[in-house]
Amino acid sequence: MKITVIGTGYVGLVAGVCFAETGHEVVCVDIDEEKIALLRRGVATIYEPGLAEMLASNLRAGRLSFTSSLAEGVRRAAVVFIAVGTPSGEDGSADLSHVLAVAAQIGRHLDGTTVVVDKSTVPVGTADRVLAILQANTAQEVDVVSNPEFLKEGAAIQDFMHPDRIVVGASTERAFKLMRKLYEPFVRTGAPIFEMDVHSAEMSKYVANAMLATKISFINEMARLCDAVGADINLVRKAVGADRRIGSAFLFPGVGYGGSCFPKDVRAIGRTGAEHGLEMHMMKAVDRVNEEQKHVLCAKIDAAFAGGLKGAQFAVWGLAFKPRTDDMREAPSLVIVDHLLRAGAGVAVYDPQAMEGARRHYFKDRVRYATTPYEALEGADAILLLTEWGEFRSPDFDEVKKRMRGRRIFDGRNIYARKEVEDQGFAYFGIGV
């Protein structure tokens, strides 16, 4: 089957590579000529474990190709996936301009019966709009399917190849039949395919992300309360997570969530409610708590450096919003590093994967970029742990003390035990502990 994927971001590139891995002919389309040139050479344009190897092998096998021509990509396609960005607008709504523009282009170039799939995260009613645009631009028979992705950055290949579930929203048996065939290799171990109406499928992605974001904001707010009353959130979350009705997943306090999904999806579902006359109280609170949480560590730093931050030196370990990705979109590090810089502090940063993005898109030359975690410590008064990469979990404290000027550790992910850090002669500042 020829599959076309429009958009080569996290969702589009992972989907294209994984479909090629199961033997399909896959063409990925993107308007970014530089990105297409890199992908044609087998250079992965995002960091995702396993992606580079799978990309290279499918290019060599001839199953995967890249083009900037949508007309070329759509030609002969049995199924076309729309996987372009849907960023938040100023009012929190999802910006559908890219999705709708691509739909019009697809319609103009269809040359046979085709299923067009919304893979981008889109609000309820988008498939209806896409179908109307397609029908206005083509005489070909076309179905529109909602097929939301449930990928975790840092585990996207694993999630795609071995999904918990597949959600397909469609209105014709022909579309359902094609999607079953397409996903058959991925559900052989028994993962369910949930077939439903398009509107329900569109909602499922937002509701899933809203639930996960809610758990994070909930435990972060409880961590603030633990700070206030002298309790230890690490002990509390273990006791609470042992309840099978609640579970322990996503009950890890920290400096807040970020990335391309949770922030915009929480705001978008709130906006969808407003458009239908509903006040989404919980979604507003989840977003507000998360934005405030990014400043919690800043307050702890300010209190510890009562004389002010001007001239103080900080080593930041971790920039990406989570480990196993280079994604810094809405990362807590952006808020925290900016706070330090505005206060006149010096900042050295290290992240295993996000350094190039930080240099190109965020901090430019405002910080010092270290080549190792220990190099970032030279002359530092404090360490700020902002992303829980594995290599940060067991530092050589003798080496740390040799390089640092001060003795403070601000643990934004609670990966260190207070007693062990204090036994090494450091003051420890965690989240809710």
Q: Kindly list the structural domains of the chain, giving each domain's residue range(s) and its CATH number in brackets, ordered by start.
A: 2-196 (3.40.50.720), 206-293 (3.40.50.720), 296-429 (3.40.50.720)
Active site residues: 261
Helix, strand, coil % over all residues of the chain, rounded to 5: 45, 15, 40
Q: CA 246 to CA 397: how far, in whole Å?
A: 37
Looking at residue 88, what DSSP letter applies? B
Concatenated DSSP letters for 318-336? Answer: --SSSTT----TT-HHHHH
In this predicted structure, what is the pLDDT of residue 89?
84
Q: Which parts of 22-84 fold into alpha helices (H)?
A: 33-40, 51-61, 70-74
At 427, is the secondary structure helix, strand, or coil? strand
Amino acid at 149: E
Average per-residue pLDDT for the chain: 96
CA pair distance 206, 210, nearest whole angstrom: 6
- Residue ranges in the chain modelled with pLDDT below 70: none
Confidence at residue 88, expressed as pLDDT on a 0 to 100 scale: 84
So what's the pLDDT on residue 90?
Answer: 81
pLDDT value at residue 32 = 96
What tens digit of pLDDT does each residue of 333-363 get? 999 999 999 999 999 999 999 999 999 999 9
